[in-house]
Structure 1
Amino acid sequence: MIKLAVFLGNYGKEYEKTRHNIAWYFEDSLPFADKLKWQSKFKGEIASVTPSELADFACETKICSKKDGTPVAVPQEAPDRIFFLKPMTYMNLSGESVIEAANFYKIKPEDIMIVHDELELALGFVSLKWSGGLGGHNGLRSTKLVLNTPDFWRLRFGIGRPDNDKIGVADWVLSRFTAEQQEIMQSVFSQANVLFVKVLLSKKTQDLVQNWGKKNLISQ
């Protein structure tokens, strides 16, 4: 089961709600975000909840509960706590924060999920993926380097590639979403919130890949 969810991004006002910071944008969208108590540690900001607390939060905010309104079941195999991490190292050195937290809490790579932006997916697409290539993503590259393996989970949010040849990839990922695109992302996030909780409370993350391996949420 996932024990550490890492939201990749760059800190600083100039990077707020840029495409490269879509993971932080997503974290802010979680209905229970204000219940997370962050503290500075491991070259980043870290928070944690028990699986039962997460199930209760999800039920209270009506993003994930049983039909009768009660919280979703917490698997017996669930860890004592689930950690959320936002590296404050800048994207290229994200792994330094990840490895410090993983080593301290003795979390294996296969129990880590990295939430990040994905150039190869169009805006509106979300993808739950196990291992694989890095797609030129510096945050993933740094994480693979310190973990010495690409075998960790990824929750990818599509940002697409620039539609103008005059805009380079570096400028594109550091540009902000338009007002229209922000509206689209709010719709995407509201649906991805459910997936996020399901992933963290699933004893077999792989079971979710069939439906969420690559999903267009703006066509729902």
Structure 2
Amino acid sequence: MKLIAGLGNPGEKFKNNRHNVGFKVVDDFSRSNGLSWRYSQDLMCYWIKTVQYVLIKPVTYMNKAGQSIKSVCDFYKIEPKDVLVIADDLDLPLGKIRMTFNGSAGGHHGIESTVESLSTMDFARLRIGIGPLGPIGESGPPMSKEQKVIEHVLSDFSDSEKEKLGDIISRAIEAVQSYVDDGVEATMNRYN
């Protein structure tokens, strides 16, 4: 059994944020497979269970997403090596996807929380590009890089980006299905 976790922040005000692209992927994946979400307060997530996988959307907010992922792993006896976390990636250009296994969190708080909660970096990630981050301090009031990053990831996609988003999500859904059917290595070879 595999665990597929789409990361994002719960609530309407975050629904279309760049940071919620992980939620968007698992929402569209579930819809394309005719699956319906259930809520578990104990597991701190929306979830769907099939014979092959458990699909989740943690409701703990991004910085604590690992707590929900760990709860689901413990409940269903899923090993970290069988976990796929789908998250936005500011270092990848918009539209680029990359499947990886292991490695650092790259400053992504949801991945950091997952590494901390699972006590390992040995799990798969499907990273969805939301970059690039614009130049710091060019428009508006001066702000630090951290403030600029927060502003970018918590902002909605622009109209021109939304036009591309459908194709990006479709490609990510194909990668998730490849992961379910063929595993992480075959998916890396196919989509990286």
Common fold by TM > 0.5: yes
d(CA) in 2 for partners of 1:25 and 1:195?
14
Q: How does 1:64-103 map to 2 (within 5 A)?
A: 81-103=52-74
CA drift of 1:205 comes to: 2.2
Q: How does 1:106-185 map to 2 (within 5 A)?
A: 106-166=77-137, 168-185=148-165
- Identify which range, 186-195 or 141-150, moves more after superposition: 186-195
* Structure 1 contact 161–169 (Cα < 8 Å) conserved: no
Letter in 2 for 1:172: H
Structure 2 residue runs of 5 or longer lacking an equivalent are 138-142
Q: Which has the bigger relative contact order, CA under 8 A and spacing at least 6?
A: 1
Give 3-state SS (helix, strand or coil) of 1:164's partner: coil
Q: What TM-score results when the alignment is normalised by the length of structure 2?
A: 0.88
Counterpart position of 1:76: none
Counterpart position of 1:212: 191
d(CA) in 2 for partners of 1:150 and 1:158?
20
CA drift of 1:39 comes to: 1.5
| Number of equivalent positions | 181
Counterpart position of 1:66: none
Counterpart position of 2:140: none
Structure 1 residue runs of 5 or longer lacking an equivalent are 51-80, 214-220
d(CA) in 2 for partners of 1:48 and 1:34?
12
d(CA) in 2 for partners of 1:12 and 1:140?
20
Counterpart position of 1:14: 13
d(CA) in 2 for partners of 1:29 and 1:179?
20
Q: How well do the aligned residues superpose, as a CA RMSD in angstroms?
A: 1.6
Deviations 1:22-78 (A, max 9, x none): 11122233373472222212011110223xxxxxxxxxxxxxxxxxxxxxxxxxxxx
Give 3-state SS (helix, strand or coil) of 1:142's partner: helix
* Structure 2 contact 30–36 (Cα < 8 Å) conserved: no
